[in-house]
Amino acid sequence: MNHRTGIATNSILMLCLIVLTGSANAGPRAHSPMQAPATAASAHIEPSSETLVWSDEFNGTQVQSAPDPAKWTYETGGGGWGNGELETYCAYGSNASPCNAQNPNVYVGSDGYLHIVGRKDAGNRYTSARIKTEGLASFQYGRLEARIQIPAGEGMWPAFWMLGDSIQSVDWPKCGEFDIMENIGKEPATIHGSIHGEGFTGTLMGLPYVAPGNAAFAEGFHTYGLIWSPGKVEYYVDSPTNVYATFTPASLPVGAVWPFDSGKFFFLLNLAIGGGWPGPPDQATHFPAEMLVDYVRVWQRPPAS
């Protein structure tokens, strides 16, 4: 994709590649079916050689509680996030208008899921949530995966993605971006996986994955994963053997800079509403709309001797 932004206390990142202003900026998030010099391949994973090094299982004990503050923080606000989006992002417990703490946009439920909720109020204002692990947990290399059920409906734009820790010093897109999963409601059977960096943003480096039988991804939970090793990025759906896109430095256009061997990256999860890529909700779009996350996990292999 192509919408990420810099990260600062009141300068928010945008969902999947946005151009932000202020002390943190992100790139534009122009999206359309992308064709890139990526290749499908089969991953050769040896689960016994992997160790689970970090996870959030979202096992809440209350009907609604805040995401673990030791693992997640918030990006808040509106303004379009560089993509013409319609929502305002709200933190758990926020009553800053149009947010409403009685109807949270993000919470961990006793059902064992993280809920990211898109809402529309009586004044036709949209709210949602965007959370990240920046400053709390970041990683380089390994197998990184989330199990998610995305919402259905025109104008929905859920995403599971990562940005480089260096965003505060070098800004976007130099910091690099992994878009592990993006979906737009008007393409119910398609998710997109892409990478972005200096010299390759927008629709330049991504591939779609279409569900078997054109089944809608919103109909159930799916796992969306990244297999990341030096000089290689692979995206998969539902199994690490089901790799649908592979990127290497050789995939990049002339003059582009590969940023994925230069440091650690942190997670973001969010549900955008509207924007130039998905378009606005229509009369059939149901609110509240929920993105449910069962877990986020990171496996790594021990360093070679």
As annotated, the active-site residues are: 177, 182
Q: How far apart are CA 106 and CA 65, in angstroms?
A: 9
The number of beta carbons lying within 10 Å of the beta carbon of residue 29 is: 32
Tokens linked to 221 = 């939970």
Q: How far apart are CA 52 and CA 61, in angstroms?
A: 23
The number of beta carbons lying within 10 Å of the beta carbon of residue 21 is: 12
The number of beta carbons lying within 10 Å of the beta carbon of residue 255 is: 8
| Count of CA atoms in the C-beta half-sphere (13 A) of 64 | 12
The number of beta carbons lying within 10 Å of the beta carbon of residue 110 is: 12
Looking at the DSSP bridge assignments, the partners of residue 192 are 182, 208
Q: How far apart are CA 165 and CA 291, in angstroms?
A: 25
